[in-house]
Amino acid sequence: MDKKPHQDHKYITALLNNDSRVLNELYRKFSGKIIGYVSKNSGSADDAQDIIQETLITIYHQAKEKNFVLTCPFDAYFFLLCKRKWLNVLNKKGIKQVTILEEITSITDEQEILANETELHEKRTNLFQDKLIELGGKCKELLDLAFKVKKMQKVAELLGVTYGYARKKKSECMSKLTKMIKNSSNYDSLTT
């Protein structure tokens, strides 16, 4: 069953198309609430701007990779993601006392589900990137090229190896990367 996009899906489209007019509208409409929340919870306006940027980047990546469809109002979905990011920052700093401002936005189950999907996608992407960096060396170089270039013939040319070798090595490297990801301590929590 296809999801019916909410009228606020225009913000997702604006992110994907780098539509500055709509993105300015997004900032104008939604950043004040985030700045207020972060400021009341041990942060500054600059901290809030960082959280807003990080959240928009997360949404952009999910939309680009997963054909994400916003099926609820953007306001609560965005606020929930920003709030969770800020609480994670506070948690890492060891700050436990927060002012909960739930009256700002009532959060529906649908917004909670979309926010959870976005967070899960970000965590999976981060795990993948971390393990790719950990893999290092020639495997990382080969896989980075394979993900960017897509055509193994071109990857082989760029690396100065044969097509057959590049394909075989890619398979070996992907197998090693997959094993590293599956052996990660947080892998089970990221599979659903």
Q: Residue 103: how many CB atoms within 10 A of its CB?
A: 6
What confidence score (pLDDT) does residue 96 get? 66
Q: Where are the domains of the chain?
A: 9-122, 136-190
pLDDT tens string 99-140: 555 544 455 666 666 667 777 777 777 788 888 888 878 888
Output the pTM of the full model: 0.59
What confidence score (pLDDT) does residue 1 get? 47
What confidence score (pLDDT) does residue 104 get? 46
Instruction: Name the pLDDT band for 48 (thresholds 50, 70, 90).
Output: very high
How far from the centroid of its chain's Cα atoms is residue 45's Cα?
22
**CA–CA separation, 60 and 51 (whole Å):** 14
pLDDT tens string 140-188: 888 888 888 878 888 888 888 898 888 888 888 888 888 888 888 877 7
Supply φ then ψ for residue 71, to 5 degrees.
Answer: -110, 10
What confidence score (pLDDT) does residue 98 get? 59
pLDDT tens string 63-112: 887 778 888 888 888 888 898 888 888 878 777 665 555 544 455 666 66
> What are the structure tokens assigned to 94, written together?
């060891």
What confidence score (pLDDT) does residue 51 get? 92
